[in-house]
Every structure is written in C-alpha cells, then in structure tokens.
Amino acid sequence: MTDHFFARNTEPQATASDEGARRIVAGREPGGERERIDRHDGSNGRGRCVDVGDPRSSGGSGHGCGGSERDGRSQFRALAVAGLVFSMGMTGFGCSDDDDGGNGIDPDTPFPGSTPSSETMTMDTSDLSSGLVAGGICHGTSAAVAAWVGLNVVARLALPVATFDAAIAQNPTFIGDQTWRWTATGGTGVNAWTAELDAEVVSTTEIDWFMRVSGTNLDLDRFLWYRGTANHSARDGFWIYFDPLDTAEIDETVRAEWSFPEGSATTKVLSFENRLDGEVTYGDLLTYTVEGDEITLSFDDADPAGTTTIQWNVTTGEGQTMGAQGETCCWGPRTSGYEDIECP
C-alpha cells in the first residue's frame, strides 16, 4: 500500500508506524438521468449547484452550474470542521409537526418502507486501539493504521451520523409526491439548526433519500449534505456526500456503499470511495467488512494499483496484515499481549 491514501487530508498525520493509512474521496454516480439544481443561501448570495438523481427534489431553479478548481483541502477535514460546528449546537432536538393545510394530503400516511440505520455510515476499529501502547510490531502497526482510519474517516462522518440519528428519531410526515419527511431541530442562536431527511418512493424496489441541513454557524440553507438510494428493506444502498465548506463546487466527495445481507444479523459491508475527478487519489477505496467475529479493513490504491488488508478477530484479538507487495505478518490473541507470531 502506498503512502498517499487520504492524501488530501491536511490534519496532523500518524507516526511512521502508520504506514498503512490511506486516502478517500468521491465523485459522480455513473448512469441515470440527472437534473442540475441550484442551491442558494438567500442571506448572503452563496450558491451551490449539485446533480441529483431525483427531478422532483426541492430547491431546483433550472439554472446551469459552474465549477472551480479544488484547493487541495481535504473533504474529510470539511466534514470534521462542520461536524464540530454542528455538535456545538446539539443541545437538544425535536420534531416539526405539519398539518395538511387543506390540500387533502394526509400527513399521517404510513411510510411504506424501512429506514436505514446510521450503521450504514459507521465503522468500529476500537478493538485495535490497545495496540498503540502494547503488543508486537505487527499488531502495533496495524493498530496505528486503524486508529488513523478512526480519526480521518469515522470522526469525519460524525455530522452525517448525528443528523441522521436525530431525524429518524422523529415521526415522518407525508408531504405528497410519494415523499415522507423526518424533521429534527436543535441548538440556539447562531448554532440553531434544522435537519430534513426526505424519502421518496421511486419504485417498488427503491427509495431515494436526501438529507438537507439549514442553519448552524455555517449559515446553511437546506444544503444537500448527503443523498442516497436504498432498497425497501434498507439492507442495501449507497450514500453520496457533499462538502458544506465548498459552496462553489458541485463535485461529490465520497461515495459510500453498504450492504447488510438478508438473513444475517452479523454481516456488514461498507465501502468508501474517492470520487473527486482530477485528484491523484481518485478511485481509492476503503472497505470495511464484518462477518461474525471477523473484521477486515481493506485499502485499495487505484494508482499505482495495490491492496493492503488488515484482519482481526474481535473475540480473541488475534489477526494479521497483508501488504500490497504480498508481505504478511501476524499477531497472537489478547491473552498473549498481541505478540508477534509466525503466520499459519
């Protein structure tokens, strides 16, 4: 695995033992009919134009979209800063009750699908954390990589997770056009915020999801922070994230796909892909797989091609790392202090 995974990140990096740490970003979803939608902040004239797969999503003006060159700032740093801003205002949240306004729409119409879980956005690498202060070289190096992922991926998705959990804790309101809305509010003053999670039933098999956030001291105006599509059982789908600190750009940052196979309560697969066109890190992929007691972190570099994989058992603590050049090292269980051992 090369040394530029997550290369756009400008925050302090882990030490030399963190040689496995890598990059992530995102881009444009291939295929499908697109609509260009302008998103404007009426208070300061800022605008953001994004592509969405749903021609009926709100905020459309029909204008064309412009673009500007990226400045090298990490999209995950943007998520982290905005997450901090948002969390400062999360002193409480509630729901917004709507009535039909005499339009004949019953707001209490039941939602016909299942809501995804915020686990579609989260990874747990905590089982390796002790390797930073104990254990052999193999476990320690692997733990440093996992800790880096926790800092640069998990922490940076804190805001999307927070808005999602706050919204789905409320009761949905049917707003017409086969669309249901979950609304959460919180914070006070300049930190006041509103999160609107819309679900549009587009077919008998798929539901489109849109999270728009307003307020915070970023002064957002129904900013489309992330969107996605899931099946009706919410077992398979994807999320696409946008950058709230780069209102001049229309580019996606990260595309995250997720799967919770039917009939299994212990299997989970998440992937996070760099989707920013023109970046050296474009196409790099991080995959997180849980199968029973086994967890696998896989780092795929698109250019130059190479894969590094870390696997460990959450019950015993033992595991191994396989490098991009085929090199392998292994460590023993917790009871042995994660000491280096000969690989089977």
Q: What is the pLDDT of residues 119-132, one digit of tens each?
A: 999 888 876 776 55
Q: What is the pLDDT of residues 137-163, one digit of tens each?
A: 898 888 887 777 766 677 778 888 899
- The one-letter code for the residue type at 119 is E
The pair of three-digit structure tokens given for residue 10, joined into one six-digit string: 């400008």
Q: Comparing 104 with 91, which gets the higher pLDDT?
A: 104
- The answer to whether the CB of 240 falls within 8 A of the CB of 226 is yes
Give the SS3 label for residue 72. Answer: coil
The pair of three-digit structure tokens given for residue 236, joined into one six-digit string: 């398979």
Q: What is the pLDDT of residues 256-305, one digit of tens each?
A: 999 999 877 789 999 998 887 777 778 888 999 999 999 999 988 877 78
Q: Is the peptide bond preceding residue 304 cis, with omega within 30 degrees of 0?
A: yes
pLDDT of residue 224: 92
Q: Is residue 209 part of a domain?
A: yes
The pair of three-digit structure tokens given for residue 188, joined into one six-digit string: 């006070």
Q: Which of 14-28, 60-74, 99-113, 312-326 has the highest mean pLDDT?
A: 312-326
Q: Comparing 74 with 22, which gets the higher pLDDT?
A: 74
> From CA 85, how far away is CA 49, in angstroms rounded?
23
Q: What single-letter DSSP state applies at residue 204?
A: S
Q: Is residue 141 part of a domain?
A: yes
Element (H, E) at 173: strand 173-176
Pick the closest to residue 270 from 151, 157, 163 (CA basis). 157
The number of distinct structural domains making up the chain is 1
Q: Is residue 73 part of a domain?
A: yes
- The answer to whether the CB of 135 falls within 8 A of the CB of 141 is no
Q: What is the pTM of this model?
A: 0.70
β-sheet bridge partners, residue 214:
194
Q: What single-letter DSSP state applies at residue 31?
A: S
The pair of three-digit structure tokens given for residue 105, joined into one six-digit string: 């729409």
The pair of three-digit structure tokens given for residue 71, joined into one six-digit string: 């400045």
Pick the closest to residue 241 from 202, 280, 282, 272 (CA basis). 272
Q: What is the pLDDT of residues 33-47, one digit of tens each?
A: 333 333 333 333 333
Q: Is residue 103 part of a domain?
A: yes
Q: Is residue 321 part of a domain?
A: no
Element (H, E) at 60: none
The length of the chain, given as a count of residues: 344
pLDDT level of residue 250 (50, 70, 90 thresholds): low
> From CA 340, how far away is CA 327, in angstroms rounded?
14
Could you tell me the residue range of the domain that residue 209 belongs to? Answer: 16-305
Q: What is the pLDDT of residues 183-196, one digit of tens each?
A: 999 989 988 999 99
Q: Is residue 76 part of a domain?
A: yes
> From CA 232, how far away is CA 326, in angstroms rounded?
41
Lowest mean pLDDT among 82-96, 113-127, 320-334: 82-96
Q: Is residue 312 part of a domain?
A: no
Q: What is the pLDDT of residues 94-110, one digit of tens each?
A: 544 444 455 678 999 99
> From CA 115, how far away is CA 94, in angstroms rounded?
18
- The answer to whether the CB of 318 falls within 8 A of the CB of 333 is yes
Q: Is residue 1 part of a domain?
A: no
Q: What is the pLDDT of residues 175-228, one digit of tens each?
A: 999 999 999 999 899 889 999 999 999 999 999 999 999 998 888 899 999 999
